[in-house]
């Protein structure tokens, strides 16, 4: 089976930097994703890591350490619209296909 | 707008009933994934279809079934509905079965079982 842990809730100030951590245990690891989901809306893709290291995309960066089963999502220059749930998801190989498993999500509240 | 469409947006039905949720993937995408999202369970993977064939199953109940048609749209059938089936049901699409990592989610169908 797979297990994904991420904090339930975080708060941060507009303009600041926040790091959302995710730890996972899985077999057949084939990539880690981060999605953003506003309340009542569909998740939208933010980033994908399959090799160790940092991937940067504008104000968002994602880091992966496969040996530690650890990832983080870094959000810089926070804006009010960044208030949302951030989902960490792991993809694992299974019988010729891939099974995605999502964490419960981290609810980020950005305040002025 | 992801390009993935789902109908209906909202569905209210009674326990014991059967419903069908429909999903049309983005143009050109061959893979369709179904997910259930409830407050207490988070986003749960149900099933994956690629070009009409079932490729992977997740935590899908036996009361639930799905299929993908030749025009690539997909339907999720939920039968003998229980109160606990109330949730948001999302479908997502991607171009291929394995090499594409990004999934595009539809707006979801909110199912309420009373």
**Sorting pLDDT into bands at 50, 70 and 90, what band is B59?**
confident
User: Of the ranges A45-54, B76-85, B97-106, which one carries the lowest mean pLDDT score?
Assistant: B97-106
Peptide bond into B95 cis (omega under 30): no
Cα(B11)–Cα(B21) distance, integer angstroms: 9
Residue B47 and residue B33 in contact, taking contact as beta carbons nearer than 8 Å: yes
Q: How confident is the model over B8-35, as a mean pLDDT?
A: 96
Task: Give, in order, the Cα–Cα distances in Å from B84 to each of A40, B39, B44, B87, B91.
Answer: 18, 11, 14, 8, 19
Predicted confidence at residue B96, as pLDDT, reads: 73
A93 vs B114, higher pLDDT? B114
> Residue B6 burial by CB count (10 A; 0-12/13-18/19+): exposed, middle or buried?
buried
Predicted confidence at residue A27, as pLDDT, reads: 86
> Distance from B17 to chain A by nearest Cα, in Å?
25
Residue % of chain A over a pLDDT of 70: 99
Structure tokens at A38: 């506003």
Of A44, A89, A98, the CB nearest to B98: A98
- Would you list which residues of chain B are within 8 Å, Cβ to Cβ, of chain A? 2, 33, 35, 42-45, 48, 50, 55-56, 58, 90, 97-98, 101-108
Structure tokens at B75: 């339907």
Q: Is the pLDDT of residue A1 over 70?
A: no
Beta strand spans in chain B (E): 5-7, 10-13, 19-24, 31-38, 42-50, 53-57, 64-68, 74-78, 87-94, 104-105, 109-113
Contact B101 A96 (CB under 8 A): no
> Distance from A40 to chain B by nearest Cα, in Å?
9
Q: How confident is the model over B41-49, as a mean pLDDT?
A: 91
Predicted confidence at residue A97, as pLDDT, reads: 77
Contacts of B43 in chain A (CB under 8 A): 43, 87, 89, 102, 105
Name the DSSP letter for residue A57.
Answer: E
Contacts of B97 in chain A (CB under 8 A): 97-98
Q: Which of B101, B103, B106 to mutate to test the interface with A (most CBs of A within 10 A)?
A: B101
**Sorting pLDDT into bands at 50, 70 and 90, what band is B102?**
confident
- Chain B CA closest to residue A41: B107
Predicted confidence at residue B100, as pLDDT, reads: 54
**Sorting pLDDT into bands at 50, 70 and 90, what band is A105?**
very high
Half-sphere CA count of A11, side-chain side, radius 13 A: 2
Predicted confidence at residue B5, as pLDDT, reads: 97
pLDDT tens for residues A31-69?
999 999 999 899 999 999 999 999 998 999 999 999 999
Cα(A97)–Cα(A71) distance, integer angstroms: 23
Contact with chain B for residue A103, Cβ under 8 A: yes
Cα(B3)–Cα(A108) distance, integer angstroms: 27
**Sorting pLDDT into bands at 50, 70 and 90, what band is B97?**
low
Of B42, B48, B56, the CB nearest to A105: B42
The backbone torsions φ and ψ at residue B46, rounded to the nearest 5 degrees and listed phi first, read -105, -55
Of A98, A100, A104, the CB nearest to B42: A104
Contacts of A87 in chain B (CB under 8 A): 42-43
């Amino acid at each position: 089976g797979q297990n994904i842990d991420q904090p339930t809730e975080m708060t941060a100030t507009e303009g600041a930097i926040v790091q959302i951590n995710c730890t996972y245990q899985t077999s057949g690891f084939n990539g880690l994703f981060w999605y953003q989901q506003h309340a009542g809306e569909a998740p939208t893709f933010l980033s994908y890591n399959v090799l160790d290291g940092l991937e940067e995309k504008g104000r968002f960066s994602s880091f992966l350490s496969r040996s530690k089963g650890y990832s983080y999502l870094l959000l810089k220059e926070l804006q009010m619209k960044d208030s949302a749930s951030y989902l960490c998801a792991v993809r694992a190989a299974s019988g010729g296909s891939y099974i995605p498993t999502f964490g419960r999500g981290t609810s980020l509240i950005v305040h002025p | 707008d992801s390009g993935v469409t789902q109908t209906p947006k909202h569905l209210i039905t009674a326990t014991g009933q059967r419903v069908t949720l429909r999903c049309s993937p983005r143009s050109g995408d061959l893979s369709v994934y179904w997910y259930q999202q409830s407050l207490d369970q988070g986003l749960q993977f149900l099933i994956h279809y690629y070009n009409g064939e079932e490729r992977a199953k997740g935590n899908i109940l036996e009361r639930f079934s799905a299929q993908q048609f030749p025009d690539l749209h997909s339907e999720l059938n939920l039968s003998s509905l229980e109160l606990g089936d109330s949730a948001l049901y999302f479908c997502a699409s991607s171009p291929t079965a394995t090499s594409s990592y990004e999934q595009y989610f539809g707006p979801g169908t909110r199912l309420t079982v009373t």
